[in-house]
Amino acid sequence: MTHERITSKEGLEMEAAVRELAIRWPEVTEKVDGFGHTSFRVSDKPFVIMGEGGAEGPALSFKVLKTTQELLLAQEHFYKTPYIGHHGWVSIRAQNVADYSLLADYLLEGYLCAAPKRLAKQMQAQLPSLMES
């Protein structure tokens, strides 16, 4: 990812779609870092990072379990996030996402990875009702 704030139409649409999914979970905050990346965090730990990607277009990165990362990397369009991929981060270009709701489960997995244990337990108890919304 390059160091630019999201300004493209495609990037702003990505940001809005991801915001709609992520902001509904407890204690999620949105932050723009010094590099211009928009992130969604829980307890100040990021689980989603987005940024403009220059000629390649905007990209979405999210944290998942290592087993999920392996499954996603075997699919077309997903790639290991530079610098943090070894920690379970996966990326995809906005142009390759047909429907952001299809990524909702992965974003929730990232949230659960980053959330404090008390929040993760609370969320897991509510999972059946959350998956319906």
Residue 131 forms part of a structural domain: no
How confident is the model at residue 122, as a pLDDT? 86
What is the mean predicted confidence (pLDDT) over 12-39? 95
Residue 98 forms part of a structural domain: yes
How many domains in the chain?
1
How confident is the model at residue 124, as a pLDDT? 79
How confident is the model at residue 5, as a pLDDT? 85
pLDDT of 1 above 50: no
- Could you tell me the residue range of the domain that residue 17 belongs to? 9-120
Strand partners, 42: 28, 45
- What's the chain's average pLDDT? 91
pLDDT of 131 above 70: no
* Token pair belonging to 71: 């499954």
Strand partners, 110: none
Between helix 104-114 and helix 9-22 the angle, nearest 10°, is 60
Residue 129 forms part of a structural domain: no
Confidence of residue 54 (pLDDT cuts 50, 70, 90): confident
Residue of 35 and 65 predicted with greater confidence: 65
* Token pair belonging to 99: 């429907």
pLDDT tens track for 68-99? 999 999 999 999 999 999 999 999 999 999 99
Residue 34 forms part of a structural domain: yes
Residue of 126 and 85 predicted with greater confidence: 85
DSSP state of 118: H
Residue 133 forms part of a structural domain: no
What is the mean predicted confidence (pLDDT) over 5-13? 93
CA distance 77 to 45: 26
What is the mean predicted confidence (pLDDT) over 122-128? 77
**Domain at 80, CATH number:** 3.90.1150.30
Strand partners, 27: none
Residue 126 forms part of a structural domain: no
Name the pTM for this structure.
0.90
**Percent share of the chain, pLDDT over 90:** 80
DSSP state of 54: G
Residue 130 forms part of a structural domain: no
Please tell me the number of Cα atoms within 13 Å of 57 on its side-chain side: 15
- Contact call for residues 29 and 51 (beta carbons, < 8 A): no
